[in-house]
Structure 1
Amino acid sequence: MRKVFLLLLLAVVTVNLSAQLSLEDVISGGKNFYKYYMFSYNAKFKGESNDLVFQQKDSVFFQPINKQERVFGFDRVALNEILVENGLDEIKYLPSVSWESSSEISFATREGYYYLNLDSKSVNYIAKPEDADNVDWLTIKKQLAYTKGNNLYIYANGSEQQVAVSNEEGIVYGTSVHRNEFGIHKGTYWSPDASKLAFYRKDETMVSDYPLVNVEERVAELENIKYPMAGMTSHEVTIGIYDLSTKQTIYLNTGEPKDRYFTNVCWSADGRFILIAELNRGQNHMHLNKYDASTGEFVSTLFEEKDDKWVEPQHPALFIPGKNDRFIWQSVKGGYNHLYVYDLNGKLIKQLTKGEWEVTDVLGFDDKAKNIFITSTKESPLESHAYKVSLSSGKMNRITAAEGAHRVLISKDGKYAISNYSSLDQPMRTVLYSTNGKELQELHQAKNPYEEMEVGDIKMVELSTKDGETPLYGRMVLPTNFDPSEKYPVIVYVYGGPHAQMVQNRWQGGARGWQLYMAQKGYIAFTLDNRGTPYRGKDFEQAIHRQLGTLEVEDQMQGIEYLKSLPYVDADRIGVHGWSYGGFMTTTLMTEHPEVFKVGVAGGPVIDWKYYEIMYGERYMDTPQENPEGYAKANLNNKVNQLEGRLMIIHGAIDPTVVWQHSLTFVRECVKNGVQLDYFVYPRHEHNVRGHDRIHLMEKVSRYFEDFL
């Protein structure tokens, strides 16, 4: 009997070690997705102290900075006791907690906003106002700014104040503007002392309505959105300032022309001024302008930036603590994104960082404001490391030691850093460093979530552009049970557009779970970052200007030539898949290189850039009137007769980003020219298919390659 039991146990272990991934495991929305997703470990600093805090499900643990042992802090049960004592309802789960000080925490639930003192057991609670959206919670002052419909409100001192009311459809207050370009992600900005609120006012009455259709009604209903297409009329933006004490609003006198972009809104450290990066419609000339926050009047232009291609401010001025007249500005004007120190009169004090690498994030200052902490690509374009930079000398000291991509938190005093990092073969590891660069303690080591699964080997590859001048980085996932004497089909996964780096030295090289899934099915999964993608400097990113789809395709074909050079690649069975810009790239590759690509699946593809929105489209292509040749060359409707392989296009029927018109015009051209095309639509889905329906999407994509590649 014992022998039989051991044989059965061995069989179970063998089955587990050869288990196959399913789409439910690797696709967001899948039932098992979070079992295999590599999370950052929830480690923080305890407010202004250097003690550590770890949140695990419904419990919080503390660890003094100089100790190894963790002690229980509190859990949801203990918090609920405090809430009930204060006459509040219990919470059903413990959300992510922020530490305002060593004894005060804040957190939000669907019901409201909590500011809780663990010592006194007092609670300040603000119930979420009915129908509130775009909530901007100023935790330390227990104040909210929020919208209801197109109107703007504040909750302060226990009551709601109405800031701005829209009396006309198309007038919108307190929301993000310019379609979230230029680093804009919200529409309200509290002053340093919380006595005033700056906010966007958007007038889009002059912008064309774009029709979306709700097919869930008995008779389908029209749902118009405002969508400013390249070369057409854009919305106009102004900036108001509301005074909580006087309940009065003034507007900044930004003058003419109105057809420009108001970005990177920032209060000066003393609250006297508003700084705005103002960009012309052509997006090649930026003024950093200063306004008087009490009168709204223009004070001065601190400096300008020009470029023959584009200027794209992404970060507001960052004032140096204790120095109300000095701020940090990020710019790529020298060829790479670096930090510059200016005074409030616009005088350049110094360039703080320099070199052929990019600052990727600013993490904060130390308590004496002698150093600033950043992450950058200084070691490699594929990695991200943290550094301490002296504000006086610019001297840099590397903090993070291990190779890989680091996401870092800095303690309030600047003495310690918590890094969550991974690399190609290293699952997520959480480490405590001193900011002098010494590794002090491993806080957590994640397990390989695929250790009982068959996963193909992953290789990083370095190629070059056609002229041999510029490195290109790629990633290849080999099939499970790979045999170099066999021939394998390839699926190229491509994005290829600005602001998205697909290949990094992080866990599994940044490979998507779907690529691992297809490798199990016997495919090589390949991805390459072409020119136009980020973190390689201005020249690399701006090479695509006015000619989208040209150099990107040239670089992708360098990847194809590499693949063809490998003896185990079946060059007659190469497919390609991508979404959005990747859908544009997929369709371009299928039509321009039909001799190479046998099968493609293009999701939400840009087909004709004149149908795309102004802010993004005109930055990279200028207007259709200014660049007719570039628009015509990139227009995939002109290339339908070049299509030879099997191409399926997929689109969300209420896509507000790449509107449905793109792929529908391509279908029409295919029909007119007798070209066969496969097509699928997701009703009531926007630009991405989300939720559990995404499993359906990726099963359709996977089956398409299995059926035809």
Structure 2
Amino acid sequence: MKRIYLILSAFLFTLTAFSQKQMSIEDAVLGRYSYLYPRQLSRLQWLSDDKLIYVANDTIWETGVKKNDKKLLISGTALKDAASKKEIDFARIPAFTTQNANELVFNSGNTISVFNLKNSQFECALEIPEGAEVPDFSAEGQSVAYVKGQNLFILKGGKEMQVTNETQEGIVCGRYVHRREFGIEKGTFWSPSGKYLAFYRKDESMVKDYPLVDFMTCEAEETPVKYPMAGMTSHQVTLGIYNTETGETTYLKSGGPDDHYLTNISWGPNEEFIYMAELNREQNHMQLNQYRVAGGEKVKTILEESRSTYVEPQHPILFSKTNDNQFYYWTRNDGWFHVYLYNTDGKLIKQLTKGDWEVTEFYGTDAKENYAYIQATKESPLDRHIYRVNIKNGAIEKLDSEAGTHDADFSPSFTYFTDKWSADENPGQTDLLTSSGKLVYNISKAENTLADYQLGENKIVKLTAADGTTDLYARMILPTNFNPNKKYPTIVYVYGGPHVQLVRNTWHNAADWWFYYMASQGYILFTVDSRGSANRGQAFEEVIHRQLGIEETKDQMKGIEYLKSLPYVDQNRIGVHGWSFGGFMTLNLMTRQPETFKVGVAGGPVVDWDMYEVMYGERYMDTPQENPEGYNESNMLNHVADLQGKLMLIHGVQDETVVMQHSMKFLRECIEQDKQVDFFAYPTHEHNVRGKDRVHLMQKISQYFFDYLKESPQKQNISQAF
């Protein structure tokens, strides 16, 4: 009887496996963020302290903090009818935000409009002119700022005001600066009342034009960009403040060297002062400075940070809700990202959080400032949990209950919050909790969109770094229908650089669906977050300083040691693939460890850090003049002679991040060294390949591994895999 049961179980298991879908390349690329994306409630957000709104079936719904307290707020038809009265065209419900309990702000095409929920009418509609870019709306001032060409404009009450009048080539106002480093994402900053607009003025006239070529025209055309390379002249930035009532502009008298960095702009509560983190070009000394809005004079330096490596301010200060002379400062001052409370004289009131873990989000405080609310890695570097911190005594409470990655959205007074989270086996759900962590009810749960697919086993393993003490985390995906008695080829997917963490406890451990596709073709996929990657503290990240690629490669090889210890890993068939910093790491591994890696695909790779941009490159490497040995050792051109395996480089022709020059120089050196490599270019793409063309890219990469990492005669043709 037992024998019959075992045979039947094996038969049912085999039948189930054959009935499941195999991941196709189209599923892996196009489906990842469309039909295979786990859906929850659309545009869920707080309307008031006890009401949430979301969109479903072309209708905006309202739901209360009591379960099933749901009602229709406004239908798509009614909204479109109200919009038409203001000559606003809503084909569907556009993106919107809640301004307060009675108003919604819609952003549709070139129109920003305010809808009053009480009378179901549009109170304000600002139509942005044709050609305007980067609009920035001030709800309080009922104004929108935008850029046309190189100048900044404001539209208010149907009247357009021109803020700047720049005519010299190379000067632009109102756009992001410093190549989006230091947490910079935009170039305009409205004051709380909407009376003032702070904006960046960037002068790039002293930076040499870098030629990008558009080959898609009848005659190829040059489209130059400003690209300051490490050690070269960088652009110069100032911060202006425009008064919408007087029409006058004042520029802050920041002084100092022309090529310093102006970051983390914050308005004071009463708009008398504005605050800015200023970083020297060496990026090892930061001052948080206070300026008077009227006149732009510097009042004082509130605090400073200096390090022998680098200081990287990323978060503007947040002022207290109960004391205008105190603010919260989120920084890595003690080696880990933590939250501090200071006063505007620069006195440290207290350090709110402390420990060998990182605050990864600071949500703010309740109205009376009894508690501060954070997201952090306190339990594990793989997880993100929501905590509240008692501001008076520092006690910390975890507010969620399940392992995974949690992100909170708090109600206006921090009475409740929505907890949107996922974990390895949880595609995502959103729960409603009180600010003390009590579960009110589950709002939504995403369906498992991969339930019908046969997937390889996905697991996280812990390793020890090359320093012999530090924990590393790796993700391994085994082939479908895995047989431990067989030997399989392995592809190492690598990044390894700052600001990126590839292995996390989210759905499927943050794996890319392409990994599952390759697993279905008989490959093991393996990824290690080496030292140098994100969210593990200053010492973990800064080990790469002045020597990019060295310690990261050592840690990646600890992952290889682990792989080689497994009886089912074919040690003679190990490949590597990565993009950008990961492309650089692919070249490192292919040249520094040629006996290990048989095949490599390097996408958009940095080859020589001399040719990378100032802000990022000099932070981690200093200048080429200061660190010639480090630049020389990290230059992949100097390691081409050691290349043995099959290598393909892929590059976007319009890449403004890692310019095509990197790949061209590497190819030229390969010719000089009589090394055969392969190369593929994407003519209309920038730093990565997006849209439908990405299917072509992943076909190209997959086929390369099929051709050179599979054992003959099992070599596959990709057309048979679809």
TM-score (norm 2): 0.94
1:633-648 map, 5 Å: 633-648=633-648
Q: Following TM superposition, by how much is the alpha carbon of 1:379 offset from its aligned partner in structure 2, in angstroms? A: 0.9
Q: Which amino acid aligns with 1:158?
A: G
8 Å contact kept, 2:95–2:108: no
Q: 1:95-134 maps to which residues of 2 (within 5 A)?
A: 95-123=94-122, 124-134=124-134
State the 1:32 CA deviation. 7.3
1-structure distance, mates of 2:44, 2:94: 14
CA distance in 2 between counterparts of 1:504 and 1:17 reads: 30
1:621-636 alignment to 2 at 5 Å? Answer: 621-636=621-636
The aligned residue for residue 257 of structure 1 is 257
After superposition, the C-alpha distances for 1:133-153 in whole angstroms (9 at most, x for unaligned) are 111111343211110011100
Look up the match of 2:486: 486
Residues 477 and 94 (structure 1), Cα distance of their counterparts in 2 relative to 1, 3 Å cut: same
Q: Give the match's secondary structure for 1:144.
A: strand
Identify the residue that residue 151 of structure 1 maps to in structure 2.
151
Q: Tell whether the 8 Å contact from 1:44 to 1:418 is kept in structure 2 after alignment.
A: no
Q: Compared with structure 1, are the counterparts of its residues 363 and 42 closer, same or farther at alpha carbon in structure 2 (3 Å cutoff)?
A: farther
User: CA contact under 8 A between 1:268 and 1:274: conserved in structure 2?
Assistant: yes
Q: How far apart are residue 365 of structure 1 and its match? A: 2.2
Cα distance in 1 for residues equivalent to 2:17 and 2:501: 36
Does residue 455 in structure 1 map to residue 468 in structure 2?
no
Shift of 1:70: 2.6
Deviation at 1:664, TM superposition (A): 0.4
1:433-474: CA deviation from partner (whole Å, max 9, x where unpaired): 112112221111111111111111101000011232100001
Q: Does the residue aligned with 1:36 lie in a helix, a strand or coil?
A: coil
Distance 2:54 2:83 in 1: 22
Offset, 1:420: 1.1
Distance change in 2, residues 1:543/1:410 (3 Å): same
Structure 2 counterpart of 1:117, one-letter code:
N
Tell me the CA shift for residue 517 of structure 1.
Answer: 0.9
* Cα deviation code 1:413-433 (max 9, x no counterpart): 212111111111122111111
Report the Cα offset of residue 217 of structure 1: 1.5
Q: Which residue in the other structure is 2:28 paired with?
A: 26
Letter in 2 for 1:603: G
Q: Which runs of 5+ in 2 are unaligned?
A: 1-11, 710-722
Does the 8 Å contact 1:24/1:33 carry over to 2? no
Q: Is the CA contact (8 Å cut-off) linking 2:287 and 2:305 kept in structure 1? A: yes
Please give the secondary structure, in 1, of the residue aligned with 2:547.
Answer: coil
Tell me which residue corresponds to 2:7: none
- Could you tell me whether the CA contact under 8 Å between 1:383 and 1:505 is conserved in 2? yes
Q: Deviation at 1:705?
A: 0.4
Partners of 1:305 and 1:237 lie apart in 2 by 21
Per the TM alignment, residue 156 of structure 1 is displaced from its structure 2 partner at its CA by 1.5
Percent of matched pairs sharing the same residue: 48
**The residue matched to 2:659 in structure 1 has which SS?**
coil
Alignment partner of 2:47: what SS? coil
Superposed counterparts of 1:358-373, under 5 Å: 358-373=358-373
Per the TM alignment, residue 31 of structure 1 is displaced from its structure 2 partner at its CA by 6.3
Residue 490 of structure 1 contacts residue 525 of structure 1 at CA under 8 Å; is this kept in 2?
Answer: yes
SS at match of 1:664: helix
Distance 1:613 1:524, change over 3 A: same
Assess if the C-alpha contact under 8 Å between 1:46 and 1:101 holds in 2: no
When normalised by structure 1's length, the TM-score is 0.96
Amino acid at match of 1:99: T
| Structure 2 residue aligned with 1:5 | none
Q: Does 1:505 align with 2:505?
A: yes
1:287 aligned partner, one-letter code: Q
SS across alignment from 1:34: coil
Equivalents in 2 of 1:685, 1:369: separation in Å? 48
* Cα contact 2:277–2:313 (8 A) shared by 1: yes
The answer to whether the 8 Å contact 1:59/1:74 transfers is yes
Do the aligned residues in 1 keep the contact of 2:462 with 2:472 (CA within 8 Å)?
A: yes
SS in 1 for 2:212: strand
Is the contact made by 2:52 and 2:63 (CA closer than 8 Å) also made in structure 1? yes
Q: CA deviation at 1:219?
A: 1.1
Query: In structure 1, the residue corresponding to 2:211 is in which secondary structure?
Result: strand
Counterparts in 2 of 1:515-554, with a 5 A limit?
A: 515-554=515-554
Please tell me the residue identity of whatever aligns with 1:100. Q
Distance, in Å, in 2 between the alignment partners of 1:559 and 1:202 is 44
Counterpart CA distance in 1 for 2:61 and 2:154 is: 35
Deviations 1:468-497 (A, max 9, x none): 210000100111111111111101111111
- Offset from partner CA, 1:596-622 (integer Å, 9 cap, x none): 101110000000000000000000000
Question: Which residue identity does 1:451 align to in structure 2?
Answer: A
Distance 1:474 1:57, change over 3 A: farther
| 1:554-585 deviation digits (Å, cap 9, x = unpaired) | 00000000011011111111110000000000
Task: Report SS of the residue matched to 2:419.
Answer: strand
1:443 aligns to what? Answer: 443
1:235 is aligned with what amino acid?
H
Q: Which stretch shifts more, 367-376 or 414-423?
A: 367-376
Query: Counterparts of 2:42 and 2:32 in 1: how far apart (Å)?
Result: 21
Give the CA deviation at 1:371. 1.9
Question: Residue 679 of structure 2: SS of its match in structure 1?
Answer: strand
AA aligned opposite 1:26: A
Report the equivalent of 1:472.
472
Q: Give secondary structure in 2 for the equivalent of 1:662.
A: helix
Displacement of 1:634: 0.4
Matched with 1:305 is 305
Q: 1:143, 1:155 within 8 Å by CA — same for their partners in 2? A: yes
CA displacement, residues 371-394 of structure 1 (integer Å, 9 cap, x when unaligned): 221101111111111111222222
Range 105-114 or range 219-228, more displaced: 105-114
Match of 1:145, SS state, is strand
Deviations 1:90-109 (A, max 9, x none): 41121233122223111211
Shift of 1:344: 1.3
Give runs of aligned pairs for residues 243-282 of structure 1, distance below 5 A: 243-282=243-282
Cα distance in 2 between the residues matched to 1:32 and 1:602 = 22
Q: Paired residue for 2:583?
A: 583
CA contact (8 A) 1:44 1:409 kept: no
Measured in 2, the distance between the counterparts of 1:524 and 1:465 equals 21
1-side partners of 2:94 and 2:605: how far apart?
Answer: 37
| C-alpha distance 407-39 of structure 1, shift in aligned 2 (>3 A) | farther
> 1: CA distance between counterparts of 2:306 and 2:360?
22
Give the aligned residue type for 2:92.
Y
1:597 aligned to 2:600? Answer: no
Displacement, 1:43?
6.1
Structure 1 gaps, min length 5: 1-9
How far apart in 2 are the matches of 1:111 and 1:333? 43
**Is 1:693 aligned to residue 693 of structure 2?**
yes
How many Å apart are 1:256 and its aligned residue?
2.3
| Alpha-carbon contact 1:207-1:228 (below 8 Å) kept | yes
For 1:281 and 1:218, locate their aligned partners in 2 and report how far apart those are by CA, in whole Å.
42
Cα RMSD (Å): 1.5
CA separation of 1:301 and 1:320: change in aligned 2, threshold 3 A: same
Alignment partner, residue 321 of structure 1: 321
- How far residue 162 of structure 1 moved from its aligned partner, in angstroms, is 0.2
| Residue matched to 1:164 | 164
Alpha-carbon distance, 1:45 to partner:
4.3
Change (3 A) 1:51 1:286: same
- Quickly say closer, same or farther: Cα 1:32–1:618, change in 2 above 3 A: closer
Matched, 1:141 2:141: yes
* 1:266 Cα deviation from its structure 2 partner: 1.1
1:67 CA displacement: 2.9
Contact 1:50 1:412 survives alignment (8 Å) = no
Q: Is the 8 A contact 1:401 1:439 kept in 2?
A: no
Partners in 1 of 2:130 and 2:697 — Cα distance? 35
Cα-to-partner distance string for 1:1-50 (whole Å, 9 max, x where unaligned): xxxxxxxxx9xx969842112222121xx267411123554363442232
Correspondence for 1:677: 677
Counterpart for residue 6 of structure 1: none
Question: Higher mean Cα deviation, 126-135 or 17-26?
Answer: 17-26
Contact 1:377-1:383 at 8 Å conserved across structures: yes
Give how far 1:626 is off: 0.4
Compute the displacement of 1:171 (Å): 0.7
Partner amino acid for 1:97? F
Amino acid at match of 2:664: L
